[in-house]
Chains A and B, each alone.
Chain A
Amino acid sequence: MLSSIAALIGTKIVFGSNMLEGYVPLGLQDPDPFKLFNKHKDMIVLNDKPWNIEAQAHLLDDKVTPNSCMFIRNNGLVPENIDPKSWTLTIDGESVRTKKTYTLAELKSKFEEYTYQLTIECGGNGRAEFDPPAKGNQWTVGAVHCASWTGVRLRDVLNDAGIKDNAVYIGFHAVDQHLSRDPNKEAISRGCPMSKALQDETLLAYKMNGEDIPLVHGYPLRLVAGGWPASVSGKWVNRISIRNKVHDGAKMTGTAYRIPCETVAPGEKVKDEDMCIIESMPVKSLITYPKTGAVLKQGKSLEIRGHAWAGELEVTKMEYSIDFGSTWNDCVVEKPVNRLAWQHFSAQVDFPKKGYYEVWARATDSNNKSQPMLLPGWNPKGYLNNACHRIAVKVK
C-alpha cells in the first residue's frame, strides 16, 4: 500500500510508517466524498471545501446512527497526518491550577472510561428554510446524529489539572487548518460554560460506535457535548483552556453560533453586542420511516417512526397530525437510553380516504415547550429551526 502510493507520487512519504492502514493521504484522495468518508450514497454534499455533508431524514432511521449516515460539518480543512502515538492533550488557561499534558495512552489509563449515546445537532440545521435567507451552508433536516461515544470525562481530566475558583468557561483548540491556510488563524475554537464542561456526559472521546473515531469526525480525540450545538463538540482536540471569562476563540464571537438576545422581526439588523451564545438546543423530532413520498393502498395503516430530542431536556410527549395540525394523535415515545440521547417514537397511522396527506410530527419537552409548525424566530444566521418535520403520503 505505502509503496504503491510512493510509486504513484514518485517520492517517499515522510512519516509514512505512521499512517493508518488503509489510509490514503488527502492529497491523493479520490474526490468522491462517499468513498472518502464511507458515506451512504444518498447523503447530500452541500460543500466540498470545506467538506459539509448532510443526511436525509430516512437515512437516520437507526437507533444508533452509523458513520455512513452521520452528517459532516467542517469550518476548516480536515487534518492530514495524525499520529495517535505522539498525540497529546494539554490543559491550560488562566484558571488551571497546573498546566498539564497527557498522551492518549495516559488519558486512557489514568481516567475511568464511559460510553454514552449523545445527540449532536448542528446549530444551523434547518437553516435552508429561513426567510429572508440566512448566510452559510443551507442545511435542511439532516445535520443531526446520535452515535455512541466512548472516552473519559472532561471533568475528571480538568479536576486532575485543577480548576481555580474563578473558572468560567472552557475553550478547545484543535489541529484543523483555517481555510486560508493562515497558520495564525484557528478554523474553530469554541467551548462551553464550566457547568456543561463538568457534566457526566461531557466526554473527551476516542471511540465512536465502538471503533476509532473516523478521521473526518475528529480522530483521534473529540470533545463531545450532547444536546448543545455540534460546534461545541470540537474535533481533533489537542488543547483545552480553562478560562476566567467566556472563551473568545474563533466562532465564539460576532454572530457565529449566536442568536439575538431579544427576538427580532425577519430581516432586522442586529448588532454584535445584542447577540447571545446558543446553549442547549430546542426540542425537535424527525420522521425517519417511511421515506417521504410513500404511496399506499386505501385501507392500509401506516407505521411511522423516528426520533425526538430536546437539548438538555427530555421529550415527554410525541404527537402526529395528518390534517395540518387540526387534530393531533399521540405516538409511543421511549425513554432515552441515557441523558442527552435521542428518544424513539412510533405510531400506527390510519387514513380516512384517498388523497394527498402530510404526516406532521411534533415533540414536547419536559418544560412543556412544543415544536412550532411554522418557522420559529428569525435570526440573522439561521440557527435553531426546530419547526415540525413532515412527510408526504398518498393514499390511492
Chain B
Amino acid sequence: MNEEKSFRDQVNTIYNLLMVLFTLFVLAGGGIIYYANNPNMLNFNNKSETLVNVPVEDDSDLIENGIHKRTGLIDAEGLMTVVNNCTNCHSAKLVTQNRMSEERWIATIKWMQETQNLWDLGKNQEIIVNYLVTNYPPKAKGRRMSLTNIEWYELED
C-alpha cells in the first residue's frame, strides 16, 4: 500500500509540475505574440509617435585623420547634425562629392523639402548650412583644369 501511495504522490507531483510548466508556456507564448504585435508596449515612458534619437555606438563614429569614418564627412562643428539629418535617404557621398555656395546649399535643401520628403530642419538648418559652406565650398576650376594625379607607367608592346 505504501508503495502505491508513494507512486500516486509522485504522479501528482509530476502532474502539478507539468501543469505549472504548461501554464507558463501558454502565458509566455501569448506574451510573445502580443509583444510582436505591439512592440511599443514596454516603452512605458515614451509618448507614442515621438522620434527617438537612437544613440549611435561609439566605434561607428570613429574620426580618423579629421574624417568621420562611417560617412566620409569632414569632422567639424555640426558634423553629427549633418549625419543625422542628411544621410537618411541618400549616402553622405552625395554631400562630399558636391561643393556649393551658401545660397546653393540652401536652395538644395529647399528643393529636397519641396520634392524629396526632407523634413523641416528648424534650428538645425543654420548648423547644417554653416557646416556645408565651411567644409564644402566651391573650388574655382576655370574653363579647363590641368590633368592631375597621373599614375605614370612604362608602356611596353
Contact = CB atoms under 8 A, between A and B. Distances in A.
Contacts of B145: 129
Nearest to A48: B91
Contacts of B138: 131-133
B100 A294 contact: no
Contacts of B153: 291, 293-295
A295 B152 contact: yes
Contact of A135 (B91, B98, B150): B98
Interface string B62-100: 000000000000000000000000000111011001111
B89 A293 contact: no
B93 A47 contact: yes
A135 B104 contact: yes
B36 interface: no
B97 A137 contact: yes
B94 A137 contact: yes
Contacts of B142: 131
A294 B141 CA distance: 25
Contact of B89 (A136, A179, A375, A390): A179
A138 interface: yes
Nearest to B115: A254
A49 interface: yes
B107 to A, nearest CB: 9
A47 B144 contact: no
Contacts of A131: 138, 140-143
Interface in A282-329: 290-296, 302
Interface residues of B, number: 31
A129 B143 CA distance: 8
Contacts of B101: 132
Contacts of A170: none
B155 A48 contact: no
Nearest to A180: B117
Given A133-B98, A375-B144, A180 B116 contact: yes
B147 A358 contact: yes
A179 B116 contact: yes
Interface string A114-152: 000000000000000111110111100000000000000
Contact of A48 (B93, B99, B117, B144): B93
B108 interface: yes
A135 B143 contact: no
Given A129-B145, A131-B138, 20 more contacts: A47-B90, A47-B93, A48-B93, A49-B89, A49-B91, A133-B99, A133-B100, A135-B100, A178-B117, A179-B90, A180-B89, A182-B117, A185-B117, A254-B115, A292-B150, A295-B153, A302-B155, A358-B147, A375-B143, A387-B144
Nearest 9 CB-CB pairings of A with B: A49-B91, A180-B117, A131-B141, A294-B155, A179-B89, A374-B143, A138-B97, A293-B150, A47-B93
Interface of B: 89-91, 93-94, 97-101, 104, 108, 111, 115-117, 138-145, 147, 150-155
28 contacts: A46-B93, A46-B97, A47-B91, A47-B94, A47-B97, A48-B93, A49-B89, A50-B90, A50-B91, A129-B141, A129-B145, A131-B138, A133-B98, A133-B99, A133-B139, A135-B98, A135-B100, A137-B97, A254-B115, A292-B147, A292-B150, A294-B153, A295-B152, A295-B154, A296-B155, A302-B155, A373-B144, A391-B147
